[in-house]
Chains A and B, each alone.
Chain A
């Protein structure tokens, strides 16, 4: 079963687009989600899923956080959350409560720098996106 990669974020908000940038570089297996809520539908039927999101934990920009979700709850307050009330961590835990998690689910959080409108990725985040693509894309 091939791997599905889903990038979450807003590509018009600078580093918040890190997840989507990673997904675009892994097409066709890389898919884009604007709202975390889409995840539950997008991973339906897939067994091996990787989600890439922006993170805001206070770590240096470009830091890559890795979470193996089947065995550990996803901590809240690390991933960037969403302006739409429900972030990736909440959606993952909701799916867990409903028994709708894929068999294998890795979540990558890329620590952001700036969230300017229309801005490109900062160099640190750009490097982290490349690192995640190299790590995830080969499988």
Chain B
């Protein structure tokens, strides 16, 4: 073994956005390790200042083409709670249904096109498509079902335009939702097959004792609201986020690093949701998880691909349940008029907890906004994973080690485009 090794990946493939990785090892010690986000910062929080509160869902939806519903939902939650308004069951169900569409679409993209090639030894999904055309065809159809839900509820597939603070501009008819049922039934079956397929992959033997942070709701597998809880006893409201988490800037990343107030990393996303809330999964999703060998919790990040497949099954099943019980609400939206107030909102984006805070003045204008996307929260956990992963694998060739480290990063489905939405631009002049 050489005394000193360096592995640098200048441009990570198959992640959302522009990122890099650097590792330096001396002997069996990791002396430097960085997960770098170099995509330029995007200043969304600055764009929001001075805009009307009602514009927040549409502006923040532009942060990400993969998870716009998450941004809209966290924004709406913040502004509705600021005004003391709570959606009734009909509107709440529709918001959850639209979110199910986003989970189906986003998870399918990641499972098949971004992460599966790592396990099957392909450089890209294109090569995988030549050898496994039926799997890729299945993935395209599954993804399309997610799109269809978004189209019916959101008005179009990407960057939905039908969401507003307080509800929707227009709510669908029963018939419009019923039309989705055959595809969703097919999708549920396809998702179960997907879970079986990805559970046969070979997973590196690696576990870490994470602090998992996710929303929990008393009545359901939490998606669009709930309390922020962890497996180490955290149990707080969205409004208490700042008391328990802190963000800081590191020079090698254009995305802020979030950590617990005690300085430790934590883990958000499918692994955290599953480990905290798996008992609340829908019946087929639960039995599928058991069938493919998932326990009540999971600490091997490489198995996140299996959990994503289980969550696709859950999202199809939950969408079917909502559609079966759907009665169009009497009004498409409630009146919401926040004034001189701060609003806090959270929801479970496909990649994990998404926190929004808005300060609203007496005219209903946004004076300050704070958005913490899941990838900002997971950056530290990604680095901690890599630091823990490397020492036992120094016998691997540089090429193989690099492959496995990139695969480890992709376990988080990092969305760099989301994470770089914010950086305070400071110019020091002397």
Within 8 Å by CB of B65, from A34, A40, A97, A98, lies A34
- Residues of A with C-beta under 8 A to B417: 83-84
Does chain A have a CB within 8 A of B368? no
Q: Which of B150-186 contact A (CB under 8 A)?
A: 157-159
State whether B129 touches A85 (Cβ < 8 A). Answer: no
Residues on the B chain within 8 Å of A37, using CB: 109, 143
B8-34 CB contacts (< 8 Å) to partner A? 13-18
- How far apart sit A127 and B417, CA to CA, in the bound complex (Å)? 30
Partner-contacting stretch, out of B133-141, B274-282, B422-430: B133-141
A83 with B39: CB separation less than 8 A: yes
Judged by a CB distance under 8 angstroms, whether B331 is at the interface is no
Asked whether B159 lies within 8 Å of A94 as measured between CB atoms, the reply is no
Q: Does A86 contact B (CB under 8 A)?
A: yes
* Residue among A83, A86, A90, A93 with max Cβ neighbours from chain B (10 Å): A83
Consensus secondary structure, chain A interface: loop
> How many angstroms between the C-alpha atoms of A90 and B114 in the bound complex?
12
Closest to B18 in A: A83
**In the assembled complex, which residues on chain A have CB atoms less than 8 Å from the CB atom of B158?**
34-35, 38
Q: Which residue of A lies closest to B144 (CB)?
A: A41
B109 contacts A98, C-beta separation under 8 Å: no
Interface size on B, residues (CB 8 A): 34
Contact with A along B183-201 (1 / 0, CB 8 A): 0000000000000000000
Q: A41-B144, A117-B43 are in contact. Are A84 and B129 (CB under 8 A)?
A: no
Contact A84 B65 (CB under 8 A): yes
Would B113 and A86 count as touching, CB distance under 8 A?
yes
- Taken together as a complex, chains A and B put the C-alpha atoms of A83 and B40 apart, in Å, by 11
In angstroms, Cα B130 to Cα A97, docked, is 5
Tell me whether B62 is interfacial, beta carbon within 8 Å. yes
Contact A93 B14 (CB under 8 A): no
Nearest residue in B to A91 (C-beta to C-beta)?
Answer: B126
Which residues of A are found within 8 Å of B299, using beta-carbon distances?
A: none
Given the complex, which residues of B lie within 8 Å of A34, measured CB to CB? 65, 158-159
B109 touches A97 (CB 8 A): no
For B129, list chain A residues within 8 Å (CB): 94, 97-98
Does B376 have its Cβ within 8 Å of any Cβ on chain A?
no
Contact, CB under 8 Å: B126 / A84: no
Contact with A along B24-54 (1 / 0, CB 8 A): 0000000000000001001100010000000
- B66 near A90 with CB under 8 A, answer no
B143 & A90 in contact (Cβ 8 Å cutoff): no
What is the CB-to-nearest-CB distance from A100 to chain B, in angstroms, rounded to a whole number? 8
**Which residues of chain B have C-beta atoms less than 8 A from A83's C-beta?**
16-18, 39, 65, 416-417
A64 CA / B330 CA spacing, docked (Å): 52
| Contact of A12 with B by CB under 8 A | yes
Residue contact B125 to A98, C-beta cutoff 8 Å: no
Q: Is B303 an interface residue (CB 8 A)?
A: no
Residues of B within 8 A of A40 (CB): 140
List residues of chain A with CB within 8 A of the CB of B137. Answer: 98
- Which residues in chain B, 388-403, are within 8 Å of chain A measured between CB atoms? none
- Give the distance in Å from the alpha carbon of A40 to the alpha carbon of B124 in the complex: 17
CB distance from B254 to the nearest CB of A (A): 13
- Residue B375 at the chain A interface, CB threshold 8 Å: no
Kindly list chain B residues whose C-beta atoms are within 8 Å of the C-beta of A85. Answer: 13-17, 109, 113-114
Cα–Cα, bound, A12→B42 (Å): 12
B71 to chain A, nearest CB (A): 14
B342 located at the interface, meaning its Cβ lies under 8 Å from any Cβ of chain A in the complex:
no
Contacts of A97 in B (CB 8 A): 126-127, 129-130, 133, 136
Given A37-B143, A84-B66, A85-B15, output 11 extra A-B contacts at Cβ < 8 Å.
A34-B158, A35-B158, A38-B157, A83-B18, A83-B39, A85-B109, A86-B113, A94-B129, A97-B129, A97-B136, A117-B42
29 A-B pairs (CB sep. < 8 Å): A34-B159, A35-B65, A35-B66, A35-B158, A37-B109, A38-B158, A41-B140, A41-B144, A41-B147, A83-B17, A83-B18, A83-B39, A84-B17, A84-B65, A85-B113, A86-B113, A86-B125, A90-B125, A90-B126, A94-B126, A94-B136, A97-B126, A97-B129, A97-B130, A98-B129, A98-B133, A98-B136, A98-B137, A117-B42
Counting from the closest, the 6 A-B pairs by CB-CB distance are A97-B129, A34-B158, A83-B417, A93-B126, A97-B130, A83-B17
